[in-house]
Structure 1
Amino acid sequence: MTALPLRDRVALVTGASRGIGAALALELAKRGAHCVLIARTQGGLEETDDAIHRATGKNATLLPFDLQKQEKEMDMIGPSIVERFGRLDILVHNAGALNKLTPVAHVDPRDWNELVAVNLTAAWRLIRSCDPPLRASDAGRAVFVTTGRVPRPKAYWGMYGATKAGMEHLVLTWAQEVANISPLRVNLADPGIVATRMRSLAMPGEDPATIAQPADVAPALADLCMPSEARTGARIEIARTG
């Protein structure tokens, strides 16, 4: 029987009800991790859990949660996981919002506040909440999913790109702060162009069959969560299509 490299490890995955988050959660579970799954929709989380159970015979822990509306409650996520499981080894922050593609001068303040809350503030609160147990793990790993719009700005994508750029800066700063005092490794992952719901909203005329699927990038993302991953403070491009 093949040893499971993430056996007994606990992984927190946000945006896990569909797309990249769901595919990654399944991949981590196949490698032995117990996954705590966060998303807004209970039904989507249950679908991911069903896929994990079919593949592994085990279930995930489901945490329906709105990263925009439940900001303060996020401070308790890390402590609650430790209270229940005794540890937290992996954090993958995959959840994100696109909202509208619009000229910078036409950005609506409500849309701006929503994207700041989901794409930037949620990352900060997850770091605050999960930093202590991740540092305490003998092989803590944190991966934040980002976008090619940060290094490659494009007209009408300013609101999305700016909030993700802020997230990148925050994450890379955290990586430096923990680099020499903990086994924790913190990295950014750009999965490239992938057939997700967000991609279909941005590019409604694109044939999703012509681009990478979430399951195509999940193994490489899971590799960043492995104890063998030595990089930290890196921005890693997982795949690039088109």
Structure 2
Amino acid sequence: MGSLEGRLALVTGASRGIGYATARALAREGAHVIAVARTIGGLEELDDAIKKETGQSATLVPMDLTDMPAIDRLGGAINDRWGKLDILVANAGALGTISPVAHVEAKVFDEVIDINIKSTWRLIRSVEPLLLKSDAGRALVLSSSVAHTARAFWGPYAASKAALEVLVRVWAEEQEKTALKVNSVDPGGTRTAMRARAFPGEDPATLPKPADVAEKLIRLCSPELDVTGKLFKVREDRFVDYRLPE
């Protein structure tokens, strides 16, 4: 029996990369996975992999996270079918373009903000009541090191991830007296399609695979986890308390 047997997990951006690997890892530990992504083919491949590894099926939700009303409906659908949610892995994200701030097209900036910030807020609003119905709700929100480094040419992505981390910290503070534990995750450089677009000259063989990241995230989904409001750095395998002193 896996460490997450009987738990219900929602994973966004589950058709590839870290989301795909995390969904598979959650399923191997016994969780039933609700997989959200735009790419239907990727979701079907995920379901095939989960069936092969566990004999169980995932619940596939083909959805564009810029469709805010659809995110609202998702929480209601989960409530009607299961009545609660144990794990949220908010992994979906948009890179945008790597270019000077003043050269970023408005539609690109809007897409990055919509997917990285607005859709995550909408998702939190939609599923928070379900996570609070769990005996040990766990929420992981994927961030990036650029949220702290203000790297040149990464304006929209860096700004969105910085804002996202603050949003997650606020959410964690609000839930401090509940059983819900909320943390951000910095996976570090990982062998994904997004990373390849951002660093086209990089040798992917030098980077950890998404499955390597996923195995560490499983621990953060455990009912035994007693950490909230922090940033988990996968490469360092540790939590960072980045709250500023009063």
Give the TM-score category using the shorter length: over 0.9
**CA distance in 1 between partners of 2:103 and 2:134 (Å):** 45
Give the one of 221, 228, 239 matched to 1:225.
221
Letter of the 2:16 counterpart: R
**CA distance in 2 between partners of 1:59 and 1:206 (Å):** 36
Give 1:175 shift.
0.4
Q: Residue 78 of structure 1 contacts residue 88 of structure 1 at CA under 8 Å; is this kept in 2?
A: no
**CA distance in 2 between partners of 1:202 and 1:48 (Å):** 25
| CA RMSD after TM alignment | 1.2
Q: Residue 16 of structure 1 contacts residue 25 of structure 1 at CA under 8 Å; is this kept in 2?
A: yes
Structure 2: runs of 5+ lacking an equivalent: 237-246
**CA distance in 2 between partners of 1:233 and 1:213 (Å):** 26
Letter of the 1:99 counterpart: G
Query: 1:52-201 counterparts in 2 under 5 A?
Result: 52-68=50-66, 70-180=67-177, 182-201=178-197
**CA distance in 1 between partners of 2:125 and 2:46 (Å):** 27
Give 1:192 shift.
0.4
Q: Normalized against structure 2, the TM-score is what?
A: 0.94
**CA distance in 2 between partners of 1:86 and 1:177 (Å):** 22
**CA distance in 1 between partners of 2:213 and 2:30 (Å):** 18
Give the one of 229, 232, 236 matched to 2:232.
236
Q: Residue 195 of structure 1 contacts residue 211 of structure 1 at CA under 8 Å; is this kept in 2?
A: yes
**CA distance in 1 between partners of 2:159 and 2:82 (Å):** 36
SS for the counterpart of 2:173 is helix
Letter of the 2:171 counterpart: W
| 1:8-39 deviation per Cα after TM superposition (whole angstroms, max 9, x unaligned) | 11100000001100100000001100000000
Give 1:86 shift.
2.6
**CA distance in 1 between partners of 2:29 and 2:196 (Å):** 30
SS for the counterpart of 1:35 is strand
**CA distance in 2 between partners of 1:205 and 1:116 (Å):** 27
SS for the counterpart of 2:144 is coil
Q: Residue 183 of structure 2 contacts residue 229 of structure 2 at CA under 8 Å; is this kept in 1?
A: yes
SS for the counterpart of 1:151 is helix
Q: Residue 9 of structure 2 contacts residue 32 of structure 2 at CA under 8 Å; is this kept in 1?
A: yes
**CA distance in 1 between partners of 2:208 and 2:62 (Å):** 27
**CA distance in 2 between partners of 1:88 and 1:62 (Å):** 15
Q: Residue 63 of structure 2 contacts residue 70 of structure 2 at CA under 8 Å; is this kept in 1?
A: no
Give 1:136 shift.
1.4
**CA distance in 2 between partners of 1:96 and 1:62 (Å):** 18
Identity %: 50
**CA distance in 2 between partners of 1:131 and 1:224 (Å):** 17
Give the one of 35, 42, 45 matched to 1:44.
42
SS for the counterpart of 2:179 is coil
**CA distance in 1 between partners of 2:70 and 2:11 (Å):** 16
Q: Normalized against structure 1, the TM-score is what?
A: 0.96
Q: How many residues align?
A: 237
Letter of the 1:37 counterpart: A
